[in-house]
Chains A and B, each alone.
Chain A
């Protein structure tokens, strides 16, 4: 696949504040791409730079091979769904959706048909005559989507579009956005601070911290093989232990758990010596009576129990490990919920280790 959007050494300064630092990024045609990061990481600035709403201080930005320097937002092949939706309150739903068609040479009736088609696409068929400010949050969001998609942009930019919706609505809209993206086949770029949302929706994700891109990868790689400790911490839950990688890269000495042999795939990219070792809670297990670990075991004491209904999260204190290890267990039939202070046998698996530079 070819790159639709190319960023090369993009920097953005606001006075002393360095909002974007040397961003290099390729976004492919037709992919669902997410910019993920904590607030203030520069993800929205990057999105607005692509839209042309923000000038970049230095670096090159190309869309479809064309340099975008000095190109106003109205002349870019991008359209945006704003965080506040920015639905024009003085217009009707249909007038909002048809807003960008003012210079379109088509006839009035053809435009009206296009508006209705766009409204149907987002599930608002028949809403055209309503006043925009009388709509609910979810409906406004759909108007904003239809308004952008009707212009058939090469890229649709979405700035935290789901953050103002309640949870049920958000989950529904996530699925709907995926469906829409597949239907229209254009590139979607989503800005979000919600890692779950990014994992669910995206083909690829760029994780950003403090104006820099920490890692660009597909969701599974990002989860299983985070490039840095920071990325690992931001995505999912992760226990961190101190360890030491052997010179040949095939074994680690883990504080409190002992020595483990590892594959070359796990140690790839990490130099020998002191390393940080990540273990996801779901790759650990508490062993109940009669059960035994398929690979490795350790002894510990339960120091905290958090019950989630379908899952229980345990903190297990193990000698030689500074912080208790978090273990998540499915609450299967017949499996008891243990109490704080109970002794616990811990099962772990060296295949699930994540090695990171310390």
Chain B
């Protein structure tokens, strides 16, 4: 098990991971309607088309709203669970946390159809952005919990007690000591939940109302070959955006570790 062949393998593996994404900008700037080689020439008009597409702009607006709401609610739930997880032990705690984390391993279509049945048939609700938000919070909460758990477990449990011992109330101890220390975790939880929600299609397709989310709209575009270069342009922007968001999330996570004086041991999850 020498390192060199493994390194070559790992690099090839990375190339495999990045191969599809690397094609995105190629076709986004390619002056041809057909997505195929050989490339025809450079153009930016797919991006101008994109900007002119009001339906798409609306879908993007919907998705941003859904993603923002999802991020906030999932992080709030994550904060509750992570704090409870770091604190008291009580019977059934493992089971409850396991149950809350279940959506992580549940096939998404199961979540989608079960919520569809409840929303439409049982509660008789109209599908809207809020039905999508409800579902996205459900699937994003486990990620938020995992991230925030990490942040809380790095905390010395006596640190909040120390603040109380030095004259702070329970609430101000949380505000002055715990919050600053887990703040980076909160930011990265917000960003991760936002990113997941923004990209989620399988569930959104079932639960979306009259106004499609961005992935649902893209799904529609994929059927029209003439629209494909626009999709490529949109994809390029999205990839760039997610990379930026993830870099910020990662920087915050590292800053959190540095602030707590802990050695870095790995990435997300």
Chain A interface residues (CB < 8 Å from chain B): 51-53, 72-74, 78-80, 82-84, 86, 88-90, 99-100, 102-103, 132-134, 144, 147-148, 151
Contact = CB atoms under 8 A, between A and B. Distances in A.
A83 B158 contact: yes
Nearest to B181: A90
A134 B262 CA distance: 11
Of B159, B164, B165, B181, most buried by chain A (CB within 10 Å of CB) is: B165
Contacts of A132: 261
A53 B165 contact: yes
B164 A74 contact: yes
Given A83-B158, A89-B261, A90-B181, A53 B164 contact: yes
Given A53-B161, A86-B161, A134 B168 contact: no
A255 B254 CA distance: 69
13 contacts: A53-B164, A72-B164, A73-B161, A73-B164, A74-B169, A80-B161, A80-B162, A86-B159, A88-B162, A133-B259, A147-B166, A148-B166, A151-B167
B180 interface: yes
Contacts of A147: 162, 166
> B-side binding surface: helix, strand, loop or mixed?
helix
A73 B170 CA distance: 9
A151 B161 contact: no
B61 to A, nearest CB: 37
Interface in B153-196: 156, 158-159, 161-170, 176-177, 180-181
A112 B161 CA distance: 24
Contacts of A51: 165
Contacts of A151: 166-167
- Chain A CB within 10 A, most for which of B161, B167, B176, B181: B167
Contacts of B166: 74, 79, 99-100, 147-148, 151
A100 B167 contact: yes
Contact of A86 (B158, B170, B176, B261): B158
B260 interface: yes
B167 A74 contact: yes
Contact of B260 (A86, A89, A144): A89
A86 B162 contact: yes
Given A84-B156, A86-B156, A90-B180, A74 B165 contact: yes
A89 B181 contact: yes
B121 to A, nearest CB: 45
Interface string B239-267: 00000000000000000000111000000
Given A53-B164, A74-B169, A102-B168, 5 more contacts: A73-B165, A82-B161, A90-B259, A99-B176, A147-B166
Contacts of A90: 180-181, 259-260
A353 to B, nearest CB: 45
A84 B162 CA distance: 10
A264 B162 CA distance: 50
Contacts of A79: 165-166
Contacts of A74: 164-169
